[in-house]
Amino acid sequence: MKRLLNILLKGIITENPLLMLMIGLCSALAVTSSVANGIGMGLAMTFVNVFAELVISLFRKAIPNDARIPIFIIVIAAFTTIVDLVMKAYFPELSKAMGVFIPLIVVNCIIMGRVEAFAYKQPPIDAIFDGIGMGIGYTWVLVGIAAVRELLGAGTIAGIQIMPEAFQPILFFTLPPGGFIVFALFISLNIWLNKVQNNRAAAKEAA
């Protein structure tokens, strides 16, 4: 149980796909101008990631090593298509707001990376936990960036007015440049969090 929990937790900070591994960045910046979009994208990506990892892990002994990349792509593309169609049918507005980024989950390097580096070698239960952990790691960063950008850029979080009436929204933050700069600060924050964690571990060892 502890092992599974560790697999789940490492995706959230120490191996956070966006902030530490620097992969899957495109969607993270593009959809985070509002919190609702961030949550939607996070859930969509988590769904594809968990199921792709599960399927690959279940069939890992049957997939020939030489043909593994095309097979991964097909599996990921299938789940992406499912998400795309479901979003179009039930959340048409969200789907429109995210535009091309839902189909682009298929080339999200996080999923490809986890499938190749983890699911292809590990049993299904571990793969599910890894998928969920990476999904949460991805989603919290998305929601965090989106919250900062929406709060400063529009004075709201998830559409609810937070800032006082007199607050003049700083449009800069909802525009692309704001996205890049807020993201830079998040990476910086995560490096600091990691350092704190390492220091604590080192202190424990010394004691």
Partner 1 sequence: MNLGTIFLASLLVENVVLMRFLALCSYVGMTSDVGQSVGMGFAVTFVTVLATAATWPIYHFILVPLGIEFLQILVFILVIASLVQLVEFYLKKNVPGLYAAMGIYLPLITTNCAILAVTFDNITKNYNLIQSIVYAVGVSAGYLLAMVLLAGVRDRIKTSPIPKFLQGTPILFVATGLITVAFMGFAGMIK
Angle at 39 between CA 37 and CA 40, to 5 degrees: 65
**Contact with partner 1 (CB under 8 A) among 13, 73, 170, 193:** 73
Q: Of 202, 205, 192, nearest to 19 (Cα)?
A: 192
Give CA torsion, residues 158, 181, 40, 56, to 10 deg: -160
Name the 3-class secondary structure at 107: helix
**Contact with partner 1 (CB under 8 A) among 107, 136, 158, 170:** 107
With contact defined as beta carbons under 8 Å apart, do 34 and 145 qualify? no
Which range touches partner 1 (CB under 8 A), out of 36-44, 98-106, 136-144, 145-153?
Answer: 98-106
Q: Of 90, 111, 128, nearest to 26 (Cα)?
A: 111
Which range touches partner 1 (CB under 8 A), out of 7-15, 58-66, 72-80, 140-148?
Answer: 72-80
58 is a contact residue toward partner 1 (CB under 8 A): no
**Contact with partner 1 (CB under 8 A) among 162, 181, 201, 202:** 181
29 is a contact residue toward partner 1 (CB under 8 A): yes
Beta pairing partners, 156: 161
Report the residue number, 100 or 166, with the smaller CB distance to partner 1: 100
With contact defined as beta carbons under 8 Å apart, do 122 and 129 qualify? no
With contact defined as beta carbons under 8 Å apart, do 49 and 110 qualify? yes
Report the residue number, 28 or 147, with the smaller CB distance to partner 1: 28
Which range touches partner 1 (CB under 8 A), out of 4-12, 52-60, 65-73, 147-155?
Answer: 65-73
d(CA 199, CA 66): 43
Report the residue number, 29 or 151, with the smaller CB distance to partner 1: 29
192 is a contact residue toward partner 1 (CB under 8 A): yes
* Interacting residues with partner 1 between 140 and 179 (CB under 8 A): 175-179
- Binding positions for partner 1, rule: CB under 8 A: 22-27, 29-30, 69-70, 73-74, 77-78, 80-81, 84-85, 100, 103-104, 106-109, 112, 175-181, 183-185, 187-188, 191-192
